[in-house]
Structure 1
Amino acid sequence: MGKSKLLAVLMTASVLLAACGGGNGSGPNAATDGAASAASAPGGASAPQASAQTACRPDGNFTYSGSAPQVAANNGQLAVVVVPTLPAAYSKNRYMTVSNAPASSQVQQTGGAFTTLASSAAATDCLGLAKGAVTEIQGVGSDVAIGRWNQAMDTDGNTYTFAQGVHYAVGTPLSLSATSGALACTQLIADTVASDDSAAIGTLGTATATLDLATRSLNNLSLPINLAGTQYALTNSQSPLNGISTTGQLSVQSVVVGHDATQPLVAVGYSATLPNKEGIGGVVVLQCQ
């Protein structure tokens, strides 16, 4: 959970419960290749391993806000970014940044909401929505969908309020062919800026960045945030594509998705700790061209 040039805010009213369940997903120090995680699991990425994730697929009582098309897999794989906005003691390192995760390990509902997210086929590498709401469901064609679990309980046993939650972006993995030049990236869709202590929610202004095709990095990322009527600026000078960058109190997670390598999309997850120790987070999808 990471850094910026910001300040911070607000009232507090925190709600969350911890219970049993779950191991780590793909955290800031974990490998970003879902296939590597699957290979280390007993039986590799076989169908029996996917069935071992049934604990992350409860028949919950879900509600939905928004909609998105079904996301298209690429060779049976999906790219996944997950950002939990919960105090660290409860988030159980469920940050996922995976450019190739098994599509069979994710669950997308008919209306577009994802209710199970996984970084590999291993039984410990998944997180499910046990009950509650998936809000701000949005998509860009069949290329990517985003949303946020809130006022909910997950399969780790955490409950969270409207101002907390688990942010996700799931998209079609895309390989970049060009090896030189740069593309300008601008925000297409984003979800709410959530608060780990339930203080308040905010909005993301127009995020921008530059995709450097030579270094395969996302450069000069700007994330303007309005939180309780106060403006803050989160910036990151360089972060690897399909990877994680932590600079001070700001962490940036990214995966390249879409169907057109000349106009790729980049799904970005971000999390930051403000000077008052309040944590915030969200997801945003950038169009690069």
Structure 2
Amino acid sequence: MRNNRLLVVLMGVTVLLAACGGSNGSGLNAATAGAASAASSPVAASAPSGASTPQASTQTACRPDGNFTYSGSASQVVANNGQLAVVVVPSLPVANSKNRNMTAPNAPASSQVQQTGGAFTTLASSAAATDCLGLAHGAVSEIQSVGSDVAIGRWNQAMDTDGNTYASQQGVHYAVGTPLSLSATSGTLACTQLIADAVATNDGSAGGTLGTASATLDLGTRTLNNLNLSINLANTQYALTNSQSPLNGVSTTGQLSVQSVVVGHDATQPLVAVGYSATLPNGQGIGGVVVLQCR
């Protein structure tokens, strides 16, 4: 009788363990797996009111793992409150450029990709998926910088994420810098050329050089006045001028379009990154970027 009672007790314990999943640990494993799954699943964090949430994941298409080559070097550009100022000028046939001219005084730093050697291979004017352009594969040439304030370069002999391919004399020019707010509200500063890339052509014919560039920064009107660009192309000199263009904006006068962003770390001696594109009297389309030092 005693043995029968013991057998009944043991059977009852076994049934309880099976019901709880404890007989082989499967219940514990399932709970652990569920917790691990919950921990590994992305959880949307609630952002403070008015805060911007990085959307770099929406721009994956502009961040290909391509094969790149580089010419020159630049420092890593320092962001200001998570923002970078961006100018992009394509030197491509109009049908292919897809209005990729970008002028963004405050674009998310998380939407740009700068390589270790200083070249930018992804450029964006905002966090929107439609506002970015990446270098799928190819070369970044003429990489230069002014300290950590601004870096320039040009994609050439390359293919971008729009599907455009371009030769060595074409390309996409860029300038990316630390956004800078001007404090003074009156007076003028004289601006002269610090660095520039080569002058590229839309049709891939022989490019040229930017000899000199100068302008006046009007602190009262917040404009870049009397911009003068001296271009040497195919042993011919061209003088391009723009009487007035807004800082951190775009201006088109005649056949010359000017894009600018104010960058740097010293509001008393700001830098202005200028992108320009023009149609010369002979019908040739050109473009490039230049950084001006204003004092």
Please give the range of the TM-score, normalised by the shorter of the 2 chains.
Answer: 0.7 to 0.9
Which residue does 1:156 correspond to in 2? 162
Q: How does 1:90-169 map to 2 (within 5 A)?
A: 90-169=96-175
Q: Give the letter aligned to residue 144 of structure 1.
A: V
User: Which of 218, 222, 231 is 2:237 aligned to?
Assistant: 231
The percent identity for this pair of structures is 85
Which residue does 1:85 correspond to in 2? 91
Aligned pair 1:271/2:281, yes or no?
Answer: no
Q: Distance in 2 between matches of 1:275 and 1:181?
A: 35
Q: Give the letter aligned to residue 158 of structure 1.
A: N
Deviations 1:217-250 (A, max 9, x none): 0000000000011100000000000000001110
Q: Distance in 1 between matches of 2:222 and 2:117?
A: 34
Q: Is the 8 A contact 1:45 1:121 kept in 2?
A: no
Q: Distance in 2 between matches of 1:98 and 1:45?
A: 16
Deviations 1:106-129 (A, max 9, x none): 000000000000000000100000
User: Which of 207, 218, 224 is 1:201 aligned to?
Assistant: 207
1:206 CA displacement: 1.5
Which residue does 1:221 correspond to in 2? 227
Superposition RMSD on alpha carbons, in Å?
0.9
Larger radius of gyration: 2
Q: Give the letter aligned to residue 180 of structure 1.
A: S
The runs of at least 4 consecutive aligned structure 1 residues that moved more than 4 Å come to: none
Q: Distance in 2 between matches of 1:53 and 1:268?
A: 26
Aligned pair 1:241/2:247, yes or no?
Answer: yes
Which residue does 2:195 correspond to in 1? 189
Q: Give the letter aligned to residue 79 of structure 1.
A: A
Q: Which consecutive unaligned segments of at least 5 residues does structure 1 have?
A: 1-43
Aligned pair 1:46/2:53, yes or no?
Answer: yes
Which of structures 1 and 2 has the larger relative contact order (alpha carbons within 8 angstroms, sep 6+)? 1
Q: Is the 8 A contact 1:50 1:105 kept in 2?
A: yes
Which residue does 1:71 correspond to in 2? 77
Which residue does 1:6 correspond to in 2? none
**Corresponding pairs, count:** 245
Q: Give the letter aligned to residue 168 of structure 1.
A: Y
Q: Distance in 2 between matches of 1:230 and 1:116?
A: 34
Q: Give the letter aligned to residue 46 of structure 1.
A: T
Deviations 1:126-163 (A, max 9, x none): 00000000000000000000000000000000000000
1:45 CA displacement: 4.7
Q: Is the 8 A contact 1:256 1:266 kept in 2?
A: yes
1:275 CA displacement: 2.7
Which residue does 1:211 correspond to in 2? 217
Which structure is higher in helix share? 2
State the secondary structure of the residue aligned to 2:69: strand
Q: TM-score, normalised by structure 1?
A: 0.84
Which residue does 1:282 correspond to in 2? 288
Deviations 1:64-123 (A, max 9, x none): 000000000000000000000001100000000010000000000000000000000000
